[in-house]
Amino acid sequence: MSPDKVIDRSLQLDHPLTHYALFLDVDGTLLPIAERPDQVRVPFSLLGTLHHLRDGFLGALALVSGRAIADLDALFEPLALPAAGVHGLELRHSDGHCCRSSNESLLEPLRTPLTAFAERTPGLLLEDKGLSLALHYRLAPEREAEVARRIGELLGGSLPDLEVTQGKMVFEVKPSGCNKGTAIGAFMEEPPFSGRKPIFLGDDITDEDGFVAVNRLDGISVKVGETGASQAKHRLPNEAAVHSWLAQLVDSSNSQERE
pTM, two decimals, is: 0.91
pLDDT at position 258 over 90:
no
Q: What is the pLDDT of residues 98-129, one digit of tens each?
A: 999 888 889 999 999 999 999 999 999 999 99
Q: In a 10 Å sphere around its CB, with 0-12 CB exposed, 13-18 middle and 19+ buried, how is residue 193 labelled?
A: buried
Mean pLDDT of 78-97: 95
For the question of residue 25 being annotated catalytic, the response is: yes
* Residue/partner pairs of 74-79 with CB below 8 Å, 24 or more apart: 75/26, 75/31, 75/40, 75/41, 75/42, 76/42, 76/47, 76/50, 79/47, 79/50, 79/51, 79/54
Q: What is the mean pLDDT of the chain?
A: 91
With cut-offs at 50, 70 and 90, classify the pLDDT of residue 7: low
pLDDT at position 143 over 50:
yes
CB 234 within 8 A of CB 6: no
Domains in the chain, please, with CATH?
3-101+178-258 (3.40.50.1000), 104-175 (3.30.70.1020)
- 43 contacts: CB under 8 Å, gap ≥ 6: none
With cut-offs at 50, 70 and 90, classify the pLDDT of residue 256: low
| Angle 32-33-36 from CA coordinates, rounded to 5° | 135
User: Catalytic pick from 25, 71, 203, 204?
Assistant: 25
